[in-house]
Structure 1
């Protein structure tokens, strides 16, 4: 039986989550339908544009994403501190870029003179919007619904385009976050729709590589800040160059014609995380097969279990990331 979303997403445990949305009725996000011969490649642009647009509206950062033929992967970081710092006007500005809001919120945003009761109602609505703008369910809703409407209009049909619920995995520590990001970034390579990470169109890894060539990082993605800023908590605590090298090496090994040609134990990231190269390959290449709702190293799983006695996380992932 599916767990309630409120039990799956708990910021007291982790701000990082891996979300997956899959299509129904043989629907396509992109690629070519072998039965009809129709191409859906243009829909990739829809997805990426929407993801990057929402990253500028929500207090949710994009760590990684990949658009596949009938599903999409996205790794999110909830920035609760940012949402709390927004003024009421900032909340309304962001929300109104998605929805009209109410008459009172529109008047409040324009700075019009309003009676006290109307101001109170507008501020109450703004607080509800603030919560939504840091909520994964609302993020996925704002991502999926417009795409479904566009696809249904193009296919000249009605009904569901996505499965009823998107899948969500809590990533409890740095090891699980990096493993999941690498898994997402390498999806096109495993699916044989790209030869290298930098040629994987409509993925976060390609965007990071393109920016790295200019000695910068994409503003629309959650940045790598190295391990010298642990007190700031404004990004992923590893160097971008280390991560790109790790993904590149893992991607080469993931290809059957290149297996066992590179020693992943030489990666500085794996050394700092204390993960063996064999365990890294198992989790980074077959992440979904070996993990379920909660992913982390053994000590992270133990802390999670102690905080939630009724939870039954997947013990298998403890061994894989140990």
Structure 2
């Protein structure tokens, strides 16, 4: 039985989550559908465009994504601090980009006078909207529902397009975050949709590589901020060049027709993550099979379960892959 979302998401323990949505019927999200004979590649652009629109509206950052044939992956970071810094008017401005709100919130957003007896109701609505704007369930709802409606209209049918619930995994430490990002970024290569990371269309790794060639980072993706954490903006505490090199080398190893090996530089990164080479390959190729719940070291998993009062540590054996022997 699916577990309630409140038992899977705890921003007190981690702000990073891996979410995956799959289509429920035989028609594909993207790519060539052998059953219907149609090609749905254009739907990849739908997903990517909407994903970045929502990233600008929500207090949620996109760390990685990959739009596949019948499912999509996103690695998200909840930015509670940004949401809490928004003024009342800023909260409503963000929310009204997504939904109409009500007459009272519209009046306040326009700068019109609010009656004294309406203030309590206004503050209550703003508190609800602020919470929703940093809520992964609302983010995924705003991503999946428009895509489903657009696909149903194109297919001239009704009913579910996605499975009933998206899968959500808490990424409990930096090793889990970087491993999951690499797993997501390598999806097109494992599925033989691309030969190299830079050829992986509608995936975050392609955007990062293209921007890196210009000495930049994609504006719509959570940036890599290097190893210095003090006085740094929000971001992933690794060097972008190290990550791109590690993903490229891992992709070459995964492909049977390419020669590949972990370089000395990438080995240092894995050492920092405390992940043996063999375990890294297993994690980045079998992540979806190994984990169906929270991901991290055994200690991080124990702390997470205790905080949420979970009696069992699910997938504790798989978490042992994050330890050097």
**TM-score in terms of structure 1 length:** 0.96
**Residue in 1 that maps onto 2:322:** 321
**Residue deviations 1:190-214, cap 9 Å, x none?**
1111111111111111111111111
Aligned to 1:162: 162
Q: Is the 8 A contact 1:179 1:283 kept in 2?
A: yes
What do residues 212-246 of structure 1 show as CA deviations (whole Å, max 9, x unaligned)?
11111112111110111246461111000000001
Q: Partner residue of 2:55?
A: 55
Aligned residue number for residue 213 of structure 2: 213
What is the distance in 2 between the residues matched to 1:142 and 1:30?
19
- CA drift of 1:143 comes to 0.3
- Further displaced range: 63-72 or 204-213: 204-213
CA contact (8 A) 2:250 2:262 kept: no
- CA displacement, residues 99-144 of structure 1 (integer Å, 9 cap, x when unaligned): 1110111110000122122333222211110000000000000000
Note if contact 2:173-2:300 (Cα within 8 Å) is conserved in structure 1: yes
- State the partner residue of 1:227: 227
Deviations 1:24-58 (A, max 9, x none): 11131110111222110100000000101111010
- Pairwise CA distance, 1:320: 1.2
Partner of 1:25: 25
Paired with 2:129 and 2:303, the residues of 1 have a C-alpha distance of: 32
C-alpha distance after superposition, 1:68-109 (max 9, x if no partner): 011000000001111000001111011100111101111100
In structure 2, C-alpha distance between the alignment counterparts of 1:240 and 1:110, rounded to whole Å: 42
CA contact (8 A) 1:305 1:313 kept: no
- Aligned residue in 2 for 1:143: 143
> Does the alignment pair 1:87 with 2:80?
no
Contact 2:185–2:203 under 8 Å retained in 1: yes
Shift of 1:266: 4.5
Give the root-mean-square deviation of aligned CA atoms: 1.4
- TM-score normalised over the length of structure 2: 0.95
Shift of 1:299: 2.4
After TM superposition, the structure 1 stretch with the greater mean CA deviation from structure 2, 295-304 or 263-272, is 263-272
Q: Is the contact made by 1:250 and 1:264 (CA closer than 8 Å) also made in structure 2?
A: no
SS state at 2:177 partner: helix
Shift of 1:286: 1.2
Give secondary structure in 1 for the equivalent of 2:257. Answer: helix
Secondary structure of 1:275 counterpart: coil
* Cα distance in 2 between the residues matched to 1:244 and 1:85: 33
Please say if residues 301 and 313 of structure 2, whose CA atoms lie closer than 8 Å, have aligned partners that are also in contact. no
SS in 1 for 2:57: coil
* Equivalent in the alignment of 1:187: 187
Q: Rate the CA distance shift 1:233–1:296 in 2: closer, same or farther, 3 A.
A: farther
Between 1:231-240 and 1:155-164, the stretch displaced more is: 231-240
Structure 2 SS opposite 1:65: strand
The count of residues paired between Structure 1 and Structure 2 equals 321
In structure 2, runs of 5+ residues without a counterpart are none
Instruction: Report how far residue 292 of structure 1 moved.
Output: 1.7
User: Any stretches of 5+ residues in structure 1 without a counterpart?
Assistant: none
